[in-house]
Amino acid sequence: MDANELIKRYASGEINFSGLELKGINLIGADLISINLIQTDLRSANLIFAYLNRAQLHKANLSSTKLSGANLTQADLREIKLHDADLHGAILQGADLRSADLRLANLLDANLIDADLRNANLSGANLTGVCLRGANLRQEQKEYAANLRSARLFQADLRGANMAGVDLSGADLRCANLVEVNLRGANLYGANLSEANLADAFLSDANLDRAILREANLSNTKLERVLLNEADLTRANLSDAIAPDSKITKANLSYANLTKTRMNRVDLSRANLLGAILIDSSLIEGFLARTNLTDANLDNANLFKAEISSANLTGANLRGATMPDGSTNNG
């Protein structure tokens, strides 16, 4: 079937085109609202600026298809193949993309507000500037976690998205908006979050080992039991963050702002906190073996029962701090 015949039949009221072979078809700007293309082969098709609102594309094959500017609002895209597809600027608001294959897809500046991406594979996808506000990527079962390994999410808007358990290892999240995002138990190993905004985010039980968080905003973030070993948090803002029982060994926190941060039982062994601000922070029972606190400001910090015997406190300000033995430093 060619494009003219499909458009003519659709215009006459026919909407069921499921299971057809439409490889390479040219449907630029076509009005195909609510069309049924379930299990249809649309590989390498041209659907630029097409209207596919509420289209049924369950298990369809759109690998290498051109969908720039296409409107797929509320479309059924479950188990769809969009491997290496171009969705630059596409509108996928409220679309159902559960178990979709989006590997290497180009989603530059795409609109994925309120989309359901559970178990979607976005490995290697370009998500630069994408809007994922309110999107659902949460892990329901271990085998149903969205895959965003090495995805490019530079300047992406993910505010309020549910990404619990998502695999974002090696992802590029520089300058991304992650305010109030749920990343509980997510894998962010080696991810780049430089200058990202994670204010009020939930990162409890997440893996951020070797992640780059230079100048990131983590104020009021929940970081219980988080792994930040060998992470780069240079000049990061962790004020008012909650991080008890977290592991932050060998991490770089030089000049970081940890004002009023609650880090009871934290492991900061061999971490670098050169010039860090720890005013009014709580480090009760913290493990700071060979931690570098040179020129750090620990004014009124609580170090009760903390292990600091081998920490470097050269030039550190401990005025009003509660020391490991319970005494108050009045120096």
Domain count, the chain: 3
Q: Per residue in 24-69, pLDDT tens? A: 999 999 999 999 999 999 999 999 999 999 999 999 999 999 999 9
Domain final residue, candidates 91, 116, 151 = 91
Residue range of the domain that includes 125: 107-202
Q: What is the pLDDT of residue 146?
A: 74
What is the helix (H) or strand (E) element at residue 11, kind and residue range? helix 3-11
Answer whether residue 97 is part of any domain: no
Q: Per residue in 4-13, pLDDT tens? A: 999 999 999 9
Cβ burial 113-143 (10 Å sphere, 16+ → b, else e): bbbbbbbbbbbbbbbbbbbbbbbbbbbeeee
Residues 181 and 286 in one domain: no
Answer whether residue 100 is part of any domain: no
Domain final residue, candidates 145, 167, 202 = 202
In whole angstroms, what is the distance from residue 317 CA to residue 189 CA?
33
Residues 240 and 182 in one domain: no
Local confidence band at 142 (pLDDT 50, 70, 90 cut-offs): low
Contacting residues for 190 by C-beta, under 8 A, at least 6 apart: 169, 170, 209, 210, 211
Answer whether residue 9 is part of any domain: yes
Residues 219 and 114 in one domain: no
Q: What is the pLDDT of residue 143?
A: 55
- The answer on pLDDT for 236 being more than 60 is yes
Residues 223 and 153 in one domain: no
